[in-house]
């Protein structure tokens, strides 16, 4: 007993950070402090975090590691204020009021292995994103799970707008927290979500500028998932999928990898559960996609031991029913009446989307069902006036991780300012001809300026 205590104390003592460790951290994460006083303050916090990390590693019996990462110079209070939500009690009864029928996707070609499966392999999980210093995790968890089920319903996999929910969902609190079940209700009432490209993320609250004509997928209801048994049932079924979960992430600040085996239970963060490893066997764990960038944890993921409801992982879990909008590939929806392989696509019951009219695209009369299905004819009026081509953009063209350069996508709002009509194009051609003629005339009359042109 004494020897084990001694070894634990020794490990913690060895974990005391040195100036060299701190300098390596500063170099790796490009930290810049305004003066010597701030430097010393951050170094003191760094030391405290390394001691805390050593204790967490010891508590997790070596199965998970904690240490130097990009959050290592933030105090616990700073980290909570910048990256977590205020500790909240999930109101299960309130959530149940709006829950609908169990969610099942269209029959997919994906067949989860009962022991180990990650929905990334099915192609319905996007890249790890970075919420930055904004407590918008609830909106990321919502958007990520909705886009997964939209892909399973036949839509292209593309990031959906988190910022739309931060700006426009008045029930939730933007950068100060919220819950996916409330966000589902907002999406359903608003008429859908735009893409990240159309309504990009700013990591701060702003004025709502949602354009219903740009919405590509909507929510028609959602279902609560009960406990770890429910999580397994949803993620191990061929007509299931990933799950939005809200957890206690107060101990995750300096996590660097491995399977965590100890955790709190006060909900302060929302993420996406994408699969499981070794279910029913020793060392089983859930695979959880976070929104703190790829430099954190297991390339943006954390592994949570199965069997103890760690972090309250099964206490606030939901999945949405979705319906694809403005999509040339499918109008199928998940949930009851969803499209299936070889089955008739469901008829869109939402409003007949007008889409956007940029690029002179011709109006469609309703999109077809997903591959292998007869498909629907869209809304009964067929009044869609055309949609932009952003529905087919490649996910990797939008970069969320802080380690990579930011790419600003050109939205249809910007493109609509470009004169691309036939008349505008003709005008440009005429002007080119006229200017060319003037240029040739000037060239013949003033050859001494030729070198300047």
Q: What amino acid positions are annotated as catalytic residues?
A: 137, 269, 290
Q: What is the chain's Cα-based Rg?
A: 26
- In 3D space, the residue among 286, 279, 278, 299 whose CA is nearest the CA of residue 259 turns out to be 286
Residue 127 zone, left/alpha/beta (φ > 0; ψ -120 to 50; rest): beta
In angstroms, the CA 335 to CA 319 distance is 10
Q: If 0-12 CB within 10 Å is exposed, 13-18 middle and 19+ buried, where does residue 89 land? A: exposed
Please state at what angle helix 180-190 crosses helix 137-152, rounded to 10 degrees.
60
**Any idea what DSSP says for residue 346?**
P
DSSP for 80-112 reads HHHHSPPPB---HHHHHTT--SPP-PPP-S---
**Any idea what DSSP says for residue 451?**
G
Contacts of 140 (CB under 8 A, 6+ apart): 129, 131, 162, 270, 271, 291
């Amino acid at each position: 007993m004494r020897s084990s205590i001694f070894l634990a104390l020794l490990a913690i003592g060895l974990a005391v950070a040195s100036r060299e460790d701190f300098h390596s951290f500063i170099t790796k994460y490009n930290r810049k402090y305004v003066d010597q006083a701030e430097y010393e303050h951050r170094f003191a916090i760094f030391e405290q975090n390394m001691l805390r990390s050593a204790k967490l590693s010891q508590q997790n019996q070596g199965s998970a590691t904690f240490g130097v990462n990009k959050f290592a110079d933030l105090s616990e209070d700073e980290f909570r204020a910048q990256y977590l939500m205020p500790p909240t009690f999930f109101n299960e009864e309130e959530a149940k009021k709006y829950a609908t029928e169990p969610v099942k996707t269209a029959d997919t070609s994906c067949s989860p292995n009962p022991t180990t499966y990650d929905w990334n392999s099915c192609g319905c999980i996007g890249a790890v994103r970075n919420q930055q210093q904004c407590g918008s995790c609830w909106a990321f968890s919502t958007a990520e799970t909705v886009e997964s089920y939209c892909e399973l319903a036949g839509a292209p996999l593309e990031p959906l707008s988190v910022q739309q929910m931060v700006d426009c969902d008045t029930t939730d609190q933007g950068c100060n927290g919220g819950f996916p079940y409330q966000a589902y209700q907002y999406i359903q009432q608003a008429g859908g979500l735009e893409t990240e490209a159309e309504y990009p993320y700013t990591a701060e609250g702003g004025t709502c500028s949602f354009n219903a004509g740009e919405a590509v997928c909507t929510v028609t209801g959602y279902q609560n998932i009960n406990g770890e048994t429910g999580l397994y049932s949803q993620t191990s079924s061929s007509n299931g999928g990933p799950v939005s979960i809200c957890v206690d992430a107060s101990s995750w600040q300096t996590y660097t990898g491995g399977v965590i085996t100890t955790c709190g239970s006060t909900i302060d963060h929302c993420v996406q559960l994408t699969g499981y490893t070794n279910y029913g066997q020793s060392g089983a764990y859930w695979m959880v996609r976070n929104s703190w960038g790829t430099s954190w944890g297991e390339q943006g993921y954390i592994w949570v031991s199965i069997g103890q409801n760690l972090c309250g992982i099964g206490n606030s879990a939901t999945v949405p029913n979705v319906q694809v909008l403005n999509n040339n590939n499918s109008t199928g929806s998940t949930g009851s009446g969803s499209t299936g392989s070889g089955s008739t696509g469901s008829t869109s019951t939402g409003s007949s989307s007008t889409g956007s009219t940029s690029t002179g695209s011709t109006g469609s009369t309703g999109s077809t069902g997903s591959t292998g299905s007869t498909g629907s004819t869209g809304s009964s009026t067929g009044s869609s006036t055309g949609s932009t081509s952003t529905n087919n953009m490649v996910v990797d063209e939008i970069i969320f991780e802080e380690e990579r350069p930011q790419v600003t996508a050109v939205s249809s709002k910007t493109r609509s300012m470009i004169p691309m009509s036939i008349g505008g194009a003709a005008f440009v051609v005429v002007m080119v001809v006229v200017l060319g003629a003037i240029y040739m005339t000037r060239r013949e009359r003033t050859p001494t300026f030729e070198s300047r042109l």
